């Protein structure tokens, strides 16, 4: 009797080399209508903008909470991506969002993500959403797990970002299964 195929856990793929050159993101992000602002991107920081359209509204005619979550996850996650070495990938492990004010149809929202601490396998980021007048609409914070694409080696070395010190020596953790 044949064995069933082994269950393979999903792993993130390597993002583009330079997110600053990727103004319009593919897949889900394109369908939602948000863009990275390449002029504002730098190591440890990213801004994502989008105009609120009818598809973003809930039954109360204000922006759905998932839009704030998407904006913050994208901005903070892209900020983490700017800190990765060439053999590293990342994925969100947790995100917490505070909904401060509701956005309405036609408003342009900007989400800023900033890496507050980057370790060997975990990164922390904070984010905020503002409208076009600079009014605070929401805030968030989250953590991202970082994998090495080279299981036999530890994570690639990287520089200091926003006070995060570079780790010394190879990883002592067991790499995730492919």
Dist CA 29 CA 24 (whole Å): 8
Topology at the third CATH level for domain 19-148: Thiol Ester Dehydrase; Chain A (3.10.129)
pTM for this model (two decimals): 0.76
The pLDDT value recorded for residue 8 is 62
**Strands, DSSP E only, in 3-156?**
35-36, 45-51, 88-99, 108-118, 122-130, 136-148
Question: Which tens digits make up the pLDDT trace of 152-166?
Answer: 555 444 443 433 333
Sign of the CA dihedral with 119 first, then 78, 10, and 32 last: positive
Cβ–Cβ under 8 Å, residues 64 and 103: no
Rounded to 5 degrees, what are φ and ψ at 84? -75, 145
Ordered by start, the domain boundaries in the chain are: 19-148
Question: Which tens digits make up the pLDDT trace of 125-151?
Answer: 999 999 999 999 999 999 999 988 876
Question: End-to-end distance of the chain based on CA atoms, in angstroms?
Answer: 25
Per-residue confidence band for 76, with pLDDT thresholds at 50, 70 and 90: very high
Across the chain, mean pLDDT equals 80
DSSP state of 21: G
The pLDDT value recorded for residue 157 is 47
């Amino acid at each position: 009797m044949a064995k069933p195929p082994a269950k393979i856990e999903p792993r993130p793929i390597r993002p583009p080399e330079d997110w600053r050159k990727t103004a319009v993101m593919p897949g889900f992000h394109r369908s939602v209508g948000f863009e990275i602002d390449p002029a504002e991107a730098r190591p440890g920081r990213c801004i994502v903008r989008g105009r609120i359209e009818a598809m973003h509204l809930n039954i109360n005619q204000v922006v759905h909470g998932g839009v704030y979550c998407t904006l913050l996850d994208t901005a903070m996650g892209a900020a983490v991506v700017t800190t990765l070495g060439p053999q590293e990938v990342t994925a969100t492990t947790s995100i917490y969002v505070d909904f401060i004010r509701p956005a309405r149809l036609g408003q342009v929202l900007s989400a800023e993500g900033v890496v507050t601490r980057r370790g060997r396998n975990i990164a922390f980021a904070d984010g905020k959403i503002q409208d076009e007048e600079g009014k605070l609409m929401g805030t968030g914070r989250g953590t991202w797990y970082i994998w090495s694409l080279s299981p036999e080696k530890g994570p690639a070395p990287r520089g200091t970002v926003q006070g995060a010190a570079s780790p010394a020596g190879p990883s002592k953790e067991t790499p995730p299964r492919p």
